[in-house]
Amino acid sequence: MGKLPPNHGQQWTASDDRALRDLAAGNTPTRLIALKLGRTEDSIRSHAIEENISLKPANQSPYNRKK
């Protein structure tokens, strides 16, 4: 088993919630959000669902689609 992140098992704080919202709004990849907040990717995804925060990129181009 690998090394656990520093905030593993800790409660989410209001500042953590704000940081998650800001990073998600900036289209930051989930892995990078996890590293910045010291949590696992699964923790980021599950908390985003609980807080109704979308982690999907908002600025995807409608062009360049493969057919």
Question: Which pLDDT does position 17 carry in this prediction?
Answer: 95
Task: Please say whether the beta carbons of 37 and 16 come within 8 A.
Answer: yes
Give the per-residue pLDDT at 56: 85
Our count of domains for the chain comes to 1
List the structure tokens of 9.
């098992």
Q: What pLDDT shows up at residue 57? A: 76
40 closest CA partner among 2, 5, 64: 5
**Residue 15: inside a domain:** no
Is residue 3 in a domain? no
pLDDT at residue number 4: 87
In a domain, 46, yes or no: yes
- pLDDT, tens digit, 9 for 90 and up, residues 13-26: 999 999 999 999 98
Instruction: Give the 3-state secondary structure of residue 60.
Output: coil
DSSP code string of 4-21:
PPTTTTPPPPHHHHHHHH
Residue span of the structural domain in which 48 resides: 25-55
Residue 47 lies in a domain: yes
Low-confidence ranges of the chain (pLDDT < 50): none
The sign of the CA dihedral 31, 36, 40, 46 is negative
